Amino acid sequence: MEFEHFTLKPLLIIMAIIFLQQNHLLVVCLDMNCKFPAIFNFGDSNSDTGGLSAAFGQAPPPNGQTFFHSPHGRFSDGRLLIDLIAERLGLPYLSAFLDSIGSNFNHGANFATAGSTIRPQNTTISQSGYSPFDLNVQLAQYSDFLKRSQIIRKREGFFQKLLPEEDYFSRALYTFDIGQNDLTAGYKLNLSTEQVKAYVPDVLGQFSNVIEQVYGLGGRSFWIHNTGPVGCLPYIMDRFLVTAAEIDKYGCSSPYNEVAEYFNLRLKETLVKLRNELPLAAITYVDLYSVKYSLISQAKKLGKLMFNEIIIIITGFENPFEVCCGHGGKYNYNRFIKCGTKSVVNGTEIVLAKSCSDPSVRISWDGTHFTEAANKWIFDQIVDGSFSYPRIPLKFACNRLIG
Ligand SMILES: *[C@@H]1O[C@H](CO)[C@@H](O)[C@H](O)[C@H]1NC(C)=O
Ligand SMILES: *[C@@H]1O[C@H](CO)[C@@H](O)[C@H](O)[C@H]1NC(C)=O
Ligand SMILES: *[C@@H]1O[C@H](CO)[C@@H](O)[C@H](O)[C@H]1NC(C)=O
């Protein structure tokens, strides 16, 4: 039976599947809506809701200004995709595992930190900017959380309200958005595109190992974002010089996108293999690359109002490479004067890298991360499963459609 092109209406909860089996007609009714009670997220800054801030100091204002009205541990003016996912599943925003202040893990935990990679890096955060909380560390933290939360929960009282119920771990949605920094790490070591490609299998081997271990600990539903078009991000275009021939027709840098596409191709293959190896796992690959690339390449044409899958074209976004919160340079981006950087001029403190006046018409918040407006647009494209493989909407991602 072919499910891949089966269009699932988001509101359809009951789906009838008809199997023809040795002349017997079997009608099976499945409740497709997963009702995920929790989310456990692993990743980098694309889904960090306060991890790096808890460990190394808060993301400065104007981060958070649009939605939270103050810094909220995120590198954006507002909500990230993981926040929009939580909202759509009717769950609270995820607390960062590392954040000991005001956190509530009743409906999940976020192990992501900005600057995280899949592979451990051989440098410190002060040398290279990469987070020490790589995916292996995030897995260790998750494993510890799983065991200890159940011990602590037995103390009763308010701990019951702060920690997940035991069965949440097998019923939860496990989300992953990581890999972008593994690719850029090689370039920062002056490796060539060929050399970066050569280590991609090792990166994905380690990724695969983590999925297997989460599965071994009881995780069943996996929602995995592929990596975005890093060659379209101002922080890459500013840092690594590319020749005119390497700039594509939309203004992005081809070699960096090519390596991201290569990573994604191999990631997709890795997940096909994992699906065969893990009989009870529902693994959804989400092609964020295509969504982000179409956002950037068609920025000006795209409207921001979505109505019943019809895009109503209104003002659209402005120049996708013009950074909202930054300072100077070709893209309003300078890696030494990042969003929120302050300076003292004649005894008075001023913010050198401020927010633009209207982040809602910008795509790039700070040269590396997307604005809330861009994140919302991206979320609207992926939520119904249009960019998923297998083609399954977010709310149904516990169903294993391809066996
Ligand atoms: C770090 O160093 C070890 C030992 O030399 C090596 O095996 C590993 O691949 C290195 N990691 C990265 C990300 O380069
Ligand atoms: C990479 O090359 C640049 C420019 O030649 C140099 O300044 C930098 O030290 C090199 N980085 C590494 C890690 O070798
Ligand atoms: C700082 O003060 C000096 C002397 O009053 C003045 O010439 C200069 O323009 C001031 N700089 C700024 C950025 O205001």
Distances (CA, A) of 402 to 4, 39, 397: 8, 23, 12
307 C-alpha to ligand 1 centroid (Å): 49
Write down the pLDDT at residue 14: 38
Q: For the chain, how big is the Rg over CA atoms in Å?
A: 21
Query: What pLDDT tens digit does each residue of the chain (403 aa) get?
Result: 333 333 343 333 333 343 334 444 444 445 689 999 999 999 999 999 999 999 999 999 999 999 999 999 999 999 999 999 999 999 999 999 999 999 999 999 999 999 999 999 999 999 999 999 999 999 999 999 999 999 999 997 889 999 999 999 999 999 999 999 999 999 999 999 999 999 999 999 999 999 999 999 999 999 999 999 999 999 999 988 778 899 999 999 999 999 999 999 999 999 999 999 999 999 999 999 999 999 999 887 665 455 555 555 444 899 999 999 999 999 999 999 999 999 999 999 999 999 999 999 999 999 999 999 999 999 999 999 999 999 999 999 999 985 4
Lining residues, ligand 1, CB within 6 Å: 119, 121-122
- Closest ligand 1 atom to residue 182 Cα is 13
291 phi and psi angles, rounded to 5 deg: -65, -45
Please indicate whether residue 369 is annotated as part of the active site.
yes
Q: Whose CA is nearest to atom 5 of ligand 2?
A: 190
CA pair distance 45, 76, nearest whole angstrom: 9
How far apart are the C-alpha atoms of 174 and 129, rounded to whole Å?
26
What's the pLDDT at 354? 96
Domain ranges of the chain: 33-304+381-402
Distance 48 CA to ligand 1 centre (A): 25
Q: Would you state the pLDDT for residue 308? A: 56
pLDDT of res. 31: 67
- C-alpha distances (whole Å) from 330 to each of 30, 87, 146, 221, 293 are 54, 36, 47, 43, 21
- What is the b/e burial string over 288-313, where b = at least 16 CB atoms within 10 angstroms of the residue's CB? bbbbbbbbbbebeebebeeeeeeeee
Determine the distance separating the centroid of ligand 3 and the alpha carbon of 345, expressed in angstroms: 8
Active-site residue flag, 45? yes
This prediction has a pTM of 0.89
Which listed CATH number (3.30.450, 1.10.1060, 3.40.50, 2.60.40) goes with 33-304+381-402?
Answer: 3.40.50
Give the ligand with the smallest distance to the CA of 122: 1
Contact 27, 16 (CB under 8 A): yes
Is 366 marked active-site?
yes
pLDDT at 242 (0 to 100): 78
- Encoding tokens for residue 109? 């935990």
Ligand number with the minimum distance to the CA of 130: 1
